[in-house]
Amino acid sequence: MEPAVELRYVDDGIAQIRMQDRVSKNTFSMPLAEGLIAAFGEVSEHERCKVVILTGYDSYFASGGTKESLLLLSDGKGKFTDVDLYSLALNCPVPVIAAMQGHGIGGGFALGMFADFPILSRESIYTTNFMKYGFTPGMGATFILPRKLGITLAEEMMIVARTYRGEELQRRGVPFPVLPRAEVAAYAFDLAKDIAEKPRVSLVTLKDHLVESLRSGLPATIDQELEMHERTFHRPEIRDRIETLFGR
């Protein structure tokens, strides 16, 4: 069986982290979560790595929490911070390109937004569907979406919780590339090659400077998201909505 996460070095200075948990369709299963943490840990320590491409497989980028994990959270058996996936790209010392060739759902969409260079596909679905189940967003979504998408679109995505095709988000003016799915990987690789031409120490130094306010500001918002979850997540109606609506 192939691993849930594959790390390989596709060119000099370029690492690719590929999420490929076909059993869970790239929901945050334990194999996927453990694989992501291990892969980002390795590239962070790799002295020759200058840029990371984070991508998925086929029509899936990342699909957010599993049904089982959401039910456990609803029952008060854990918090989304128990496994920190949301800050992996932000805290990676080198630039991260999120080649979001497939669907980005819930926390999976937030995962991509924490990258330095998100790239969407026109055909794919993107949604922050937390409120579909009746609980407030987590995974740092309330922090990163307004900063990456603008407050108006971010509020709409989080409160209304509907799905958007990449082509619609392109029309709405998202400030990063939205390409045909078949072109996302090549675009990401070309961008990575441009980045990898620069000295690693300069890339790390500049990224530290550019994202310092994000790194320092995120923890307070995570605490606020946890407080909102305490008020919203543990109600019986939330468990019912997860049971009946998950996967629809």
Please identify every residue annotated as catalytic.
Answer: 229
Q: Is 196 exposed, middle or buried (0-12, 13-18, 19+ CB in 10 A)?
A: buried
Structure tokens at 61: 């980028």
Q: What is the DSSP letter of 57?
A: B
Cα first-last separation, the chain: 28
Residues 6 or more apart in contact with residue 57 via CB below 8 angstroms: 18, 19, 20, 22, 26, 102
Task: Give Rg (Cα) of the chain.
Answer: 17
Q: Which amino acid is at 200?
A: R
Tell me if 107 sits within 8 A of 138, measured CB to CB: yes
